[in-house]
């Protein structure tokens, strides 16, 4: 998928001296950025939190392991699709009009839905954790960071 640089991401990161290495997209006034698989991407996302008003974290249910390659569809309160993307990392930040949204997320054929509330003001994005079943063949133990962020859903844990 083509990497797009949304205005908010480019402006914020330029001010911080960084470069966008995240999956990003926009649909009119709605914008998103996903990533966080590595330390640099998590640092980029921390900068973008200043312009975001909602966030999602994709993890496994029991282990709390980070997930990538999650497709998501965001619907407004009337059920109309307003934003669609593919998360190439466990964290997604959204900049959308304040209000309630419903997210449909799909990972390896499993679909989950969750409510997302977008705060009125950017800078402290409302957080939503979306968990998927463990892969039964998965034998990797979670890192301390994965466990902590899965519980707190904060980028800076």
Q: What are 16-62's pLDDT values in tens digits?
A: 434 444 667 766 678 989 998 888 888 888 889 999 999 999 999 88
CA-based angle 152:155:157, to the nearest 5? Answer: 60
Can you give the pTM of this predicted structure? 0.75
6 phi/psi in degrees, rounded to 5: -75, 150
Three-state SS sequence of the chain: CCCCCCHHHHHHHHHHCCCCCCEEEEECCEEEEEECCCHHHHHHHHHHHHHCCEEEEEEECCCCCECCCEEEEEECCCCCEEEEEEECCCEEEEECCCEEEEEEEEECCEEEEEEEEECCCCCCCEEEEEEECCCCCCCCCCCHHHHHHHHHCCCCC
Task: Report CA torsion sign: 98, 5, 59, 153.
Answer: negative
Q: What is the pLDDT of residue 65?
A: 86
Task: Report CA torsion sign: 51, 89, 155, 45.
Answer: negative
Q: What is the pLDDT of residue 14?
A: 36
Answer whether residue 36 is part of any domain. Answer: yes
* Residues paired with 24 in a beta bridge: 33
User: How many domains in the chain?
Assistant: 1
State which residues of the chain have pLDDT below 50: 1-21, 153-157
Answer whether residue 15 is part of any domain. Answer: yes
Answer whether residue 137 is part of any domain. Answer: yes
Answer whether residue 157 is part of any domain. Answer: no
**CA distances from residue 101 to 24, 105, 118, 147, 148 in whole angstroms, order as listed:** 19, 13, 8, 26, 26
Answer whether residue 119 is part of any domain. Answer: yes
Q: What is the pLDDT of residue 87?
A: 94
* Residues paired with 4 in a beta bridge: none
CATH number of 147's domain:
2.60.40.10
140 phi/psi in degrees, rounded to 5: -80, 130
Supply the range of the domain harboring residue 107.
7-152
């Amino acid at each position: 998928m083509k990497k797009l640089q949304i205005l908010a991401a480019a402006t914020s990161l330029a001010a911080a001296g960084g470069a966008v290495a995240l999956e990003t997209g926009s649909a009119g006034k709605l914008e998103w950025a996903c990533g966080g698989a590595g330390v640099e991407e998590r640092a980029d996302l921390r900068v973008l939190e200043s312009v975001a008003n909602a966030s999602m974290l994709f993890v496994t249910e029991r282990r709390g392991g980070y997930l990538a390659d999650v497709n998501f569809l965001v619907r407004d309160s009337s059920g109309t699709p307003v934003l669609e993307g593919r998360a190439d990392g466990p964290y997604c930040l959204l900049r959308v009009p304040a209000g309630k949204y419903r997210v449909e997320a799909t990972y390896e054929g499993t679909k989950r839905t969750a409510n997302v509330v977008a705060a009125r003001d950017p800078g402290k994005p409302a957080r939503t954790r979306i968990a998927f079943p463990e892969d039964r063949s998965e034998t990797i133990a979670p890192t301390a960071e994965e466990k902590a962020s899965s519980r707190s859903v904060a980028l800076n844990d």
